[in-house]
Amino acid sequence: MSKQPIGIFDSGVGGTSIWKEIHALLPNENTIYLADSLNAPYGPKGKERIIELCVKNTEILLRKGCKIIVVACNTATTNAINYLRTNYMIPFIGIEPAIKPAALHSSTKTVGILATKGTLSSELFSKTSSLYACGIKVVEQDGDGIVQLIENGKLDSDEMRSLLKIYLQPMIDAKIDHLVLGCTHYPYLIPQLLELLPKHVKIIDSGEAVAKQTKSILKKNALLNNQISNPKNQFFTNTDLKILNSLLGNNYKVEYLDF
């Protein structure tokens, strides 16, 4: 069982930011990444539809023999992880916006969060936010359009820069000192965000924490692959291979899968 792959899925290519953290921490593990780019973005879809899509992705990863599933999408986690944990036997790791460390370290007592509508309006997010950001002003911003631009290969474009400028201004005006990235597509925007934000603003994302949590749950369940062999890393998308390829570099092969 320990040699079985770690399954990872996202609404598209953004979850590769999480795959990279997992691969760096657990280089011996076999992995399978599913990019459901055909259905991206999940953010504007309702909870029921997001659950349906997560079930579809989960079933594919289970058929491929995964021993654990990482839901590398904040929108999918905040809307569907409880459903998945209730209905399937294997462990699920989710990702949520890192409000807690941002709130804890904020001097201005004001933090910003950029996430999808689906994440910001979820019950799980409002619970986490009221639990950890008590006494802190949280400036929420729906990043509408950002995921679509990344999925369309416009990560580094004038359109992206203009959108980010519009989204960041209210946070800058409110004097945030931490910006929480609440979507796994957004770590790819860090160079542009750093250009647009005042120097003292810290950017926080949850990728490393997710990788650590994956390791700890594998260990707890005696599922760590301790064999030093040539791990297999497979990447599947249900649209064009180009964008996923461009984020992974030439060392990995991306395959088309109809799902």
Active site residues: 73, 183
By CB under 6 A, the count of residues binding ligand DGL is 18
Residue 96 touching ligand DGL (CB under 6 A): no
Distance in Å, CB of 43 to ligand DGL, minimum: 3
Which residues, numbered 171-210, are part of the site for ligand DGL (CB under 6 A)?
A: 183-185
Which residue in the set 40, 102, 155, 179 belongs to the binding site for ligand DGL (CB under 6 A)? 40
Residue 75 binds ligand DGL (CB under 6 A): yes
Give the number of other CB atoms < 10 A from CB of residue 163: 17
Helical residues (DSSP H) of the chain, grouped into ranges: 16-25, 47-63, 74-87, 99-105, 117-120, 123-132, 146-151, 158-173, 190-196, 207-220, 242-248
Interatomic CA distance for residues 187 and 180, integer angstroms: 10
Q: How many CA atoms lie less than 13 Å away from 141 in the CB half-sphere?
A: 24
List Cβ neighbours of 106 (8 Å cut-off, separation of 6 or more): 136, 176, 177, 178
Closest CB 95 distance from ligand DGL, rounded Å: 7
Return the residue matching tokens 């459901």: 36
Which among 20-28, 69-77, 99-107, 251-259 is the span making contact with ligand DGL, rule CB under 6 A? 69-77
Nearer to ligand DGL, 6 or 223 (CB): 6
What tokens were used for 198?
A: 């005042």
Binding residue (CB under 6 A) for ligand DGL from 61, 84, 111, 147: 147
Q: Nearer to ligand DGL by C-beta: 33 or 110? A: 33
Amino acid identity at 213: Q
Give 122's DSSP letter.
S
User: Is there binding between residue 121 and ligand DGL (CB under 6 A)?
Assistant: no
Judged by beta carbon, residue 19 or residue 201, the one nearer ligand DGL is: 19
Q: Which residues bind ligand DGL (CB under 6 A)?
A: 10-12, 14-15, 40-43, 73-75, 116, 119, 147, 183-185
